[in-house]
A and B are shown apart, each in its own frame.
Chain A
Amino acid sequence: MTALLGRLDALRPTVLPPVVGVAMMAMIVGALVAAPREIIEGEVQRLMYVHVPMAIATYLSFGVTFVASILLLWKRDMKWDALARGSAVIGVMLCGLVLVTGAIWGKPIWGVYWTWDARLTSTLVLFLIYTAYLLARSIAGPLDEMAARYAAIFAIIGIADIPIVQMSVRWWRTLHPEPIIFQPNPALPGEMLAVLAVGFVAVFALAAWLIGMQTDVERASQRIHRLRAEVDQRESA
Chain B
Amino acid sequence: MTHAIRTVIEKDLRLAWRNKSGWLSAASFATLAVLTYSFAFDLATGDIRPLLPGVLWTTFLFAGIFAAGQSFQQEHEDGTFDVMLVAPVPVTAIFLGKFTSNLIALLVIEFAQLLLASILFDVGLLTLELLGIVVLGTVGYVSLTTLLSTMGGQVRGRSVLLPVLALPLLVPLLIGAVRATGASLGLEAGSGPWILLLAVFAMWSTLAAVLMFPLAAER
Contacts and interface: CB of A to CB of B under 8 A. Distances in A.
B115 interface: no
B168 A125 contact: yes
B171 interface: yes
Interface of B: 144, 147-148, 151-152, 154-157, 161, 164-165, 167-169, 171-172, 175-176, 179, 188, 190, 193-194, 197, 200-201, 204, 208, 212, 215-216, 218
A147 B212 CA distance: 14
* Shortest 6 CB-CB contacts between residues of A and residues of B: A168-B172, A128-B168, A150-B151, A129-B168, A168-B175, A132-B164
Contacts of A125: 168, 171
Interface stretch (A24-32, A96-104, A155-163, A218-226): A155-163
A175 B147 CA distance: 32
9 contacts: A73-B215, A129-B168, A147-B155, A150-B151, A153-B216, A161-B172, A164-B204, A167-B172, A171-B193
Contacts of B164: 132, 135-136
Contacts of B165: 132, 136, 154
B171 A139 contact: no
A154 B151 contact: yes
Q: Report, as a range, how many residues of chain A touch the other chain.
A: 20 to 34
A149 B216 contact: yes
Interface string A72-87: 0100000000000000
Contacts of A147: 155
A172 interface: yes
Nearest to A133: B165
A169 B152 CA distance: 29
A197 interface: no
Contacts of A171: 175, 193-194, 197
B168 A132 contact: yes
B179 A172 contact: yes
Nearest to A126: B168
Contacts of B200: 164, 167
A158 B175 contact: no
A188 interface: no
A146 interface: yes
Contact of B176 (A129, A157, A168): A168
Contacts of A165: 171-172
Nearest to A130: B168
Nearest to A160: B208
